[in-house]
Structures are given as structure tokens and as C-alpha cells.
């Protein structure tokens, strides 16, 4: 059994490294000199220079980084400034379009990772589609359904001999049967089963009277050659849905802050807890979580805040509007201030995670 902390570091590293790989590939494509591509964060443990780039392993074993030449104009020393040939390789001296490509490539790679993860899952477990039968998607712990032996994946055919093909019929019928034993007809592995179940008179609202999650959606399989293509299409749709939901959630959170509400935000400790829980459910739920986390990183990074990719992109747009570059010193100060605020917020969120963990 792999320790949860190792799984957490692997998940975090995958998501961050993919982001940095986007910057790295885009920088190479537009001719920017990439000085270092690192796994983990300094201090450096070992490094090897291949061509003009150092590929390094660092002692802080999570995430990664890309160090581009001339990322900030003020960082170039006098000798570098004297070299016209080298100056053309600097990030800061590339065109607005090229710099925008490099900055946004990290976000694009995170979204593509989301598509990849979802595509892999649906190509494996089937394509979710609306069907004309009821499937059991989940079983609540210590529920009548669990006690009776109902399993995920079962098809509900009938209750008390009455045919059922819509979840609304299933729910409505059980509303009037609280405390009364009913016979549920199920199909499992091409066999028909008759299972007696007694709906509860009191229960958690999210579980229902018998404690099952039922749906008119099921995972459908197509010919093997079609599955990857269908998986990618559903993966794109799922990535779009998660991106939209996260953006809407951020909007709701911001409006709530102005109304005096306390935002519910998860930091590293909370992500570690979620990773640990998901990892216990198996590899496919973990892959889905990686996809969701990657999309989350993309959404956060595209926000127009200093020190984030979105903030740096805003500087380029301002440059295009006013017709000249913002002074490097001013941009650097704004980014440093933004980074300080982000670090402060991360510390506060982490403290909140720890407090919630202590309180249980």
C-alpha cells in the first residue's frame, strides 16, 4: 500500500509539471532560451545540461518549474544586454503574440490533462448515456439497500411486480412505502433477482428511504475502435462542464465575500485529505481527481491577478492598448505584491484546513 503522502506528492507533481511543460514547449517553439526545466523545487540535487537547457532534480519533491532567459527584462545582466543575438532569445523581447502563447500554454496543458484523464476513464468504463432503464449508481453505508444485498451496477426492473423504467417512478413509489417491506426485482450479470427491502421511516435526506442512488444513465460500450474517439469527445464535454462550474463557483464566492459570507476554500491540507480518500477508492477515481485538480489549477491560473498567468497576460494586453511596455520595475513590484498576497491567502487557507481537521 503506497502511503497517502506519496500519492499526494505524485498527484500534485503531475498537475504542476504538466503546467510547466506547457510553458517549456511553447518557449522552445517561439525560440526563447530555456535555461532550466526542474522537477521539484530548489535546492538542486542533481542536474544535467542537454543543449542549452539544464534538466534538474531538486530536493523539494513536488511540482516543478521552468526558468526562461530574460523572463523579466531587469534580470538580464549587462553582458547579456550587449549580445544582440542572445537578446533576441529573451522572453521579454519576444512579440506580444509569442509571449501570450508561452504564458497561456500552461493553462492549456492543464485543460488538456483534464481531457486526457476523463477520456481515459470513459474509454475504459464506457460512455455515459441516457437509457430507458434504471441503474443503481451508489449504495449508502448501513442502509436497507446495503443490508438487503443491492449492488452498484444492478438494474431495477420492478417493485412489487410493477415495472419501473424511470427514476421518478422509483422514488415516487417508495415514498408511500416507508416501513413497509417491498420486493425489488433486479437484473445482475444477466440473472433476475427478487430482493426484499424495507424503506426507512427516517433517513438522511441525501440518501433516500432505501439508501440507493439510481439513475437513467448508464455506461454504454461501443465497438473497440470507437471507444477512444467517443471517450475523447465525452472528455472534452466533461472538461468544459467542470471549467464552467468552477468559474461560476468563483463568481459566487466573490459575490458572497462582498455580502459578508466566509468563502469555503480548500488548501494543501484539504487537498491531501481528498487525495487520500479518493486513492482508497481505486485508480480510476484517482485519475478523475487528477483531471479535476488540473482543471482547477487552470482556472485559478487564468485569473487576472498579479503573479498568476492571467495577471501576466493582462500586462501584455495593456501593452497592446497603450502601445508600449510597462516599465519592468513596475511590473516586478506589482507581481511581487501579488505573490505576497497569494502566499498570505494560502497560509490562511491552510490554517483553516488544519482547524477543520482538528475539529473533525
- Does residue 275 sit in the same domain as residue 354? yes
pLDDT of residue 106: 96
Residue 235 lies in a domain: no
Of 160, 193, 220, which residue is a domain's last? 220
pLDDT of residue 176: 85
pLDDT of residue 79: 47
Query: To which H or E segment does residue 258 belong?
Result: helix 227-258
pLDDT of residue 325: 84
Residue 203 lies in a domain: yes
pLDDT of residue 57: 93
Which residues, in sequence order, are bridge partners of residue 182? 197
- Does residue 155 sit in the same domain as residue 98? no
pLDDT tens for each residue of 230-269: 999 999 999 999 999 988 888 887 777 666 666 666 667 7
pLDDT of residue 358: 67
Looking from the CA of 20 toward its CB, the CA atoms found within 13 Å total 21
Q: How many CB atoms sit inside 10 A of residue 343's CB? A: 11
Pairwise CA distance, residues 53 & 265, whole Å: 37
- Does residue 120 sit in the same domain as residue 132? no
Of 168, 191, 220, which residue is a domain's last? 220
Least Cα distance to 154 among 233, 212, 223 occurs for 212
- Does residue 134 sit in the same domain as residue 119? no
pTM: 0.82
Residue 238 lies in a domain: no
Give me the number of domains the chain comprises. 2
Of 195, 220, 245, which residue is a domain's last? 220
Asked if 199 contacts 174 with a C-beta cutoff of 8 angstroms, the reply is: yes
- Does residue 52 sit in the same domain as residue 157? no
Residue 242 lies in a domain: no
pLDDT of residue 192: 94
- Does residue 75 sit in the same domain as residue 115? yes
- Does residue 207 sit in the same domain as residue 284? no
pLDDT of residue 66: 95
Looking from the CA of 312 toward its CB, the CA atoms found within 13 Å total 24
How far CA 194 is from CA of 96, 134, 167, in Å, comes to 68, 16, 19
Query: In the annotation, is 20 catalytic?
Result: yes
pLDDT of residue 298: 95
- Does residue 116 sit in the same domain as residue 132? no
Residue 184 lies in a domain: yes
pLDDT tens for each residue of 77-117: 544 454 666 778 889 889 999 999 999 999 999 999 999 99
Q: What residues contact residue 328 under an 8 Å CB cut-off, 6+ apart?
A: 72, 73, 74, 92
Residue 145 lies in a domain: yes
Residue 246 lies in a domain: no
Range of the domain at 299: 4-124+263-359
165: domain CATH number is 2.30.42.10
pLDDT of residue 340: 84
Q: How many CB atoms sit inside 10 A of residue 337's CB? A: 12
- Does residue 161 sit in the same domain as residue 119? no
pLDDT of residue 332: 80
- Does residue 23 sit in the same domain as residue 53? yes
- Does residue 161 sit in the same domain as residue 120? no
Residue 237 lies in a domain: no
- Does residue 9 sit in the same domain as residue 101? yes
Query: Residues of the chain whose pLDDT is less than 50?
Result: 78-80, 82
Amino acid at each position: 500500500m503506497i502511503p497517502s503522502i506519496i500519492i499526494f506528492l505524485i498527484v500534485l507533481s503531475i498537475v504542476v509539471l504538466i503546467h510547466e511543460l506547457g510553458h517549456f514547449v511553447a518557449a522552445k517553439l517561439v525560440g526563447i532560451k530555456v535555461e532550466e526545466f526542474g522537477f521539484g523545487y530548489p535546492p538542486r540535487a542533481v542536474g544535467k545540461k542537454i543543449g542549452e537547457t539544464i534538466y534538474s532534480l531538486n530536493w523539494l519533491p513536488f511540482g516543478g518549474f521552468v526558468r526562461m532567459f530574460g523572463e523579466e527584462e531587469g534580470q538580464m545582466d549587462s553582458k547579456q544586454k550587449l549580445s544582440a543575438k542572445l537578446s533576441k532569445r529573451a522572453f521579454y523581447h519576444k512579440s506580444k503574440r509569442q509571449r501570450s502563447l508561452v504564458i497561456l500554454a500552461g493553462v492549456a496543458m492543464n485543460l488538456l490533462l483534464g481531457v486526457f484523464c476523463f477520456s481515459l476513464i470513459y474509454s475504459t468504463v464506457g460512455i455515459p448515456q441516457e437509457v430507458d432503464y434504471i441503474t443503481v449508481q451508489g449504495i449508502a453505508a448501513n442502509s436497507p439497500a446495503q443490508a438487503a444485498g443491492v449492488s452498484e451496477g444492478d438494474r431495477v426492473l420492478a417493485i412489487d411486480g410493477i415495472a419501473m423504467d424511470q427514476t421518478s417512478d422509483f422514488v415516487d413509489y417508495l415514498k408511500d412505502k416507508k416501513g413497509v417491506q417491498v420486493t425489488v426485482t433486479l437484473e445482475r450479470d444477466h440473472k433476475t433477482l427478487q430482493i426484499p427491502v424495507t424503506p426507512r421511516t427516517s433517513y438522511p435526506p441525501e440518501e433516500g428511504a432505501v439508501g440507493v442512488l439510481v439513475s437513467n444513465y448508464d455506461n454504454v460500450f461501443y465497438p473497440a475502435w470507437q471507444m477512444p474517439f467517443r471517450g475523447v469527445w465525452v472528455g472534452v464535454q466533461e472538461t468544459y462542464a467542470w471549467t464552467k462550474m468552477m468559474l461560476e463557483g468563483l463568481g459566487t464566492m466573490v459575490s458572497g465575500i462582498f455580502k459578508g459570507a466566509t468563502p469555503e476554500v480548500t488548501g494543501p491540507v484539504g487537498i491531501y485529505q481528498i487525495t487520500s480518500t479518493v486513492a482508497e477508492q481505486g485508480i480510476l477515481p484517482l485519475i478523475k481527481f487528477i483531471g479535476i485538480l488540473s482543471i482547477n489549477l487552470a482556472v485559478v491560473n487564468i485569473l487576472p491577478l498579479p503573479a498568476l498567468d492571467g495577471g501576466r497576460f493582462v500586462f501584455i494586453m495593456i501593452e497592446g492598448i497603450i502601445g508600449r511596455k510597462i516599465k519592468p520595475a513596475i511590473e516586478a513590484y506589482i507581481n511581487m505584491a501579488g505573490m505576497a498576497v497569494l502566499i498570505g491567502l494560502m497560509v490562511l487557507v491552510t490554517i483553516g484546513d488544519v482547524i477543520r481537521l482538528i475539529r473533525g
